[in-house]
Structure 1
């Protein structure tokens, strides 16, 4: 039985299993046998039905059927599978028809090669004598990974079920790390072992040999932190395809950490998080090289996860120049005003982990790492509050003041010029982010903005903004109407009742139009001059005509009150008097 309609397959399998064992095709493939004879053993892991899942190499189900606890003590069935690597995942349930609660789990890696089948047997209700680990040995290059599975073994060496979430994984020998779903990453050359400890005592292990990774040096490495475990998942495939179109120059390498969440969002091609080296391809398929499958427990809304990706990417794909792209939803500098607010604030929203990276924690994720260019493929991120937060980690910061189309950067248009000339200076190349966004016909009906900031100029700009904040605060009673006019008429972005993002340069123009106080005019002139020095490239379409490339928060005091504590966590809040002005802004 080859891969056919899921409904047809499910119905056919139910027909086979209702006969009480012995069903299935005689063709080569996977033969699964389960022994129910000890199902009534007291104190052991037992059940009345099983769901048999065959997962492909991406962790997605190829087959999912139900086995009932029937009169026959041994039940067997066979599935035809194409050549490839799979995981047999069998869930044991307390009631018929996969009902009640899940009492046990059995996961075993299997391979189908040259049409040769394989057999896996299980026993229900037998005491667990040992824990098996598969594979039982592996040779892994430094920087790469391997998925290990643990299962119970009875006194007759039959595989048996273990309780869900009952394995604790650890690594001996200091050669790597392992997640709690058995995903191992090798970090050193040498020999060690991975250990699976069962809650009731038995321990299993596998021998691991870490080998030297082969690394090559390029002119550019582009690290893309692609967190699509959210409503943007469907657009991640478009962007991967775009990268593949311009991945044919070995001096410009794209390295991607990509998370999908197919249980909640349709169209996924794998479950969990993977690392890829993008390979050249002109088709709509994803042809990139899988470097590491990291499993399903990675939290892409974690600062540590981002930091780990950066250090891993730089170590394994060294280059003269680095570009980091943060891909996801964005919301400027703001975070949730209370712990009860749903996520989709700041950046890197992981809906599976229910987490995010707040802007004031970005420097923790970046650490001491430095990039020629740091770009946010996300909404609302081209703000002084964000740029100042990462100024010590990049030479040029790139983003959009406005909401960004869900399709995001046109990566082929942005990186095409670099592919053709990898000797471009980072400053010259950064303009491609602006040009690329303005060259997409699909975006003509959306407000498009894109700006590039020279971070070496941000200290001067922050100082000028601080001076302006002090002047506005000291003269607020005389400037009430001018401030309110500027807020109402300056170029605004992602408008809401609690969010007042305004274009910084245009804001100064609007303030100048309604005041004659010399110290205020001097302060706005200082901000405009410093902003002009900092913003090296900026572009917009006709739907956002007053954008100049960098926004700032210009909230009312009442709107700012719920965010004031968070603003004080920002480097800009600590370095300037801007938040002191906002706390009393009319």
Structure 2
């Protein structure tokens, strides 16, 4: 292809994108918005997942819209996913070309939601951020050469979305669509954390994330969308979030991705305030322990199931380990009950059972000191005081 022709095509794509801004489609039931940041070493999986979406395609009830950043393409594009039979090539029409848009900029995610709302209005919104993820803070050690910080790292720009910015994007999105985002989910590693969910509690109704790392292939978009589309008139947002969690685990439990140890959870954000208060009671009781019992609590924390980062640990396994070390408190039962309400679906294929929610639980001064100041600014700490207990646990 010569340079003149390629420029002509770019101009045509831009014109196509512009034309859609003047002709909004009819209101549909759902917008499934997937923000694919493949400007990194996950790029090939982005194309794979879009091809899976094309096995189902948009319908008269749902728009499947993708903003796609690819390491192989200098231009970020927006696609209206259409059904096709080609499993190797992405054939869905590019409805807007964004040039060199920064996929690590949280405002770019907001612009995607705003554009979708203007041109493809829908009653309900399921927003997905697809990329590497590292929970609420940067991965301290990574020997692959891949940058992982919070979520949506753009290798071209070096930019990324902090946990706080991701929440801000959801807050702005809720204002745009006129109600809470029905479902927010991360197709990314380590995002099944109370700290991340807590940041967006005023903007999101249901939250889906994985405690553990995700394999590169990520979600089974074909099987999930097929099941959802076939029941779209009868499934509530809560049921859709639960369906995703269960279908993801099934895909790695002998399903389309074979056998791999994975986790996925769906949270009902209407219960997060009560969940935070239950954490507050546990933290207060543990903070009042004597020095000998605090030492036991530290040993219990070190024995608690962790996910990649030593300081990301399973919330309820911590209680179990405390009890094994002879530390008990009346608040433990309240936290277990609160988590049972908060976690709608806890799905996994791991040998060691996990309980669906990770929490920051550093067991060394270095881990604590690195992030303590930022942690104090998170809503979860502000509502639960959890960081105050952690300071007592570490400093003894």
Same fold (TM over 0.5): yes
Whole-Å separation in 2 of the counterparts to 1:404 and 1:464: 29
Matched residue, 2:348: 540
What displacement does 1:329 show? Answer: 0.3
Output aligned runs, 1:218-367, within 5 Å. 218-247=28-57, 249-262=59-72, 270-283=73-86, 284-296=88-100, 298-335=101-138, 343-367=147-171
**Would you say the 8 A contact 2:38–2:69 is kept in 1?**
yes
Contact 2:245 2:265 in 1 (8 A): yes
Answer 1 or 2: higher relative contact order, Cα 8 Å, separation at least 6: 2
1:66-465 to 2 correspondences below 5 Å: 85-87=5-7, 109=8, 144-145=17-18, 212-247=22-57, 249-262=59-72, 270-283=73-86, 284-296=88-100, 298-335=101-138, 343-368=147-172, 369=174, 370-423=180-233, 424-440=235-251, 441=254, 443-465=257-279
Matched, 1:571 2:379: yes
Contact 1:385/1:552 (8 A) holds in 2: yes
CA distance in structure 2 between the partners assigned to 1:571 and 1:311 by the alignment: 26
Partner of 1:62: none
Please state if 1:469 is matched with 2:283.
Answer: yes
After superposition, the CA RMSD in angstroms is 2.6
* Alpha-carbon displacement from aligned partner over 1:377-422 (angstroms, at most 9, x marks no partner): 0000000001111122211100100000010001112222211011
Structure that is richer in strand per residue: 1
Report the Cα offset of residue 250 of structure 1: 2.4
State how far apart, in whole Å, the 1-side matches of 2:285 and 2:3 are: 64
Whether the 8 Å contact between 2:206 and 2:266 is mirrored in structure 1 is yes
Q: Secondary structure at the match of 1:213?
A: coil
Equivalent residues of 1:303, 1:365 under 8 A apart: yes
TM-score (norm 2): 0.89
**1:493 aligns to what?**
307
- Residues 557 and 584, structure 1, Cα contact 8 Å, conserved in 2: no
Larger proportion of helix: 2
Q: Secondary structure at the match of 1:282?
A: coil
| Cα distance, 1:436 vs structure 2 | 1.7
Give the direction of change, closer, same or farther, for the CA distance of 1:420–1:523 in structure 2 (3 Å limit): same
Is contact 2:213–2:308 with CA below 8 Å preserved after alignment? yes
1:471 positional shift? 1.9
Aligned match of 2:177: none
What secondary structure is seen at the aligned counterpart in 2 of 1:367?
A: helix
- 1:476–1:292 CA distance, 2 compared to 1 (3 A): farther
**Structure 1 CA distance for aligned equivalents of residues 294 and 319 of structure 2:** 15
User: SS where residue 542 of structure 1 aligns?
Assistant: coil
Contact 2:24/2:120, CA 8 A, preserved across alignment: no
Deviations 1:245-268 (A, max 9, x none): 111532122111100122xxxxxx
1:271 CA drift (Å): 2.2
TM-score (norm 1): 0.61
SS of residue matched to 1:360: helix
Give 1:512 shift: 2.4
Q: Structure 2 vs 1, CA of residues 542 and 110 (structure 1 numbering), >3 Å: closer, same or farther?
A: closer
Q: Select between 503-512 and 390-399 the one with higher mean Cα deviation.
A: 503-512
CA distance in 2 between counterparts of 1:286 and 1:330 reads 25
Once residues 346 and 110 of structure 1 are traced to their aligned partners in structure 2, the CA distance between those partners, rounded to angstroms, is 36
- 1 CA distance for matches of 2:290 and 2:358? 21
Work out whether residues 343 and 356 of structure 1, in 8 Å CA contact, stay in contact via their aligned partners in 2.
Answer: no
Per-residue CA distance 1:452-488 (angstroms, 9 max, x = gap): 0000000000111122122222216232343233223
**Runs of 5+ consecutive residues of structure 2 not aligned to the other structure:** 175-179
Does residue 484 of the first structure (1) align with residue 291 of the second (2)? no
The alpha-carbon deviation at position 110 of structure 1 amounts to: 7.4
Match of 2:333 among 520, 525, 528: 525
Secondary structure, in 3 states, of the residue corresponding to 2:282?
A: helix
Aligned residue pairs, count:
379
C-alpha change, 1:568 and 1:443, in structure 2 (3 Å) is: farther
Shift of 1:321: 1.3
